[in-house]
Amino acid sequence: MADNTVLKQSERFEAAFNRIHKVLIQSVKNAKSDKFSDLVYKGKRHALIRYYEPDLSQFAKLRNAIVHEKIDLDYYIAEPHIDIVEKIESIAAEFEKPQSALSIATKPVYYFYENDKLTDVLAVIKAHSHSRFPIYDKEDKYSWLLTSSEIVQWLAEHFSDDDMALKEVEIKDLYNQSLKHNVVFAAQNSTVLDIEDIFEEYHSKNEKIEGILITKSGESSEKPNGIITSWDIVEAELSE
């Protein structure tokens, strides 16, 4: 008769492994199969999976030893150490509740309307060093993105104009259709895994995303609660 304490550790390990496997199936797109190792390999574009790849590979080997060598339904021939069981359970919990998109976003987002003054934007840049500003139209819908580099360029082109009154310049005066940026909206309940998938999708098409705006439900008619750039993804990975 198997020792119930040891048996429980094996069951706990297998249950935690299956929890991770389920998340991988849900989160990793375009894998060759639902095989655990294939999902880990394909999912390495996600920082969380990449970070735990060595552990996941070892877990897969141990899982094969435990499960494939079962003598019967309730008897495992190989038994994991309690430290391993607790580690895989901790990782499973992290996979099931990945970091939220909003947690890595730049907050607050300073947005403006097309009829607002350029000096209002300059004041925010001076006070907070922000560089991206969603612009909304008179119908209260997102219209375009203004960046600090475009403001600098515009000022460089107009600073010598004798008749330019800076305090009277409106944001809409800076609109340049040829400089329109790719901006994506995502709901605030999105995870970092979801955000990484969006960046990967555009990268695969050789298209750049200037920012992902986080709103309550991911609609462009909603005001942003945060903005995520590719650099935010890098910083989140470096902080792990």
- Per residue in 151-182, pLDDT tens? 999 998 888 777 778 889 999 999 988 888 89
> Two tokens at 7?
């048996």
**Per-residue confidence at 6, pLDDT binned at 50, 70, 90?**
very low
Rounded mean pLDDT, 26-45: 92
User: pLDDT averaged over the chain?
Assistant: 89
pLDDT, position 69: 58
Rounded mean pLDDT, 45-56: 94
**Per-residue confidence at 2, pLDDT binned at 50, 70, 90?**
very low
pLDDT, position 16: 96
Q: Is the pLDDT of residue 233 over 70?
A: yes
Q: Whose CA is closest to 27, among 194, 198, 155, 203?
A: 194
How much of the chain exceeds pLDDT 90, in percent? Answer: 70
Q: Is the pLDDT of residue 74 over 80?
A: no
Q: Could you state, in order of their start, the residue ranges of all structural domains in the chain?
A: 4-96, 103-238
DSSP-based three-state secondary structure for 133: strand
Torsion of CA 112, 116, 120, 122, to 10 degrees: 80
pLDDT, position 64: 85
pLDDT, position 96: 96
Distance CA 40, CA 56 (A): 8
pLDDT, position 75: 58
What is the tens place of the pLDDT at every residue in 102-154? 999 999 999 999 999 999 999 999 999 899 999 999 999 999 999 999 999 99
Q: Whose CA is closest to 83, among 62, 65, 99?
A: 62
CATH 3.10.580.10 fits 103-238, yes or no: yes
If one counts every other C-beta atom within 10 angstroms of the C-beta of residue 226, the result is 22
> Two tokens at 200?
């990967």
pLDDT: which is higher, 177 or 74: 177
List CB contacts of 116: < 8 A, sequence separation 6 or more.
170, 171
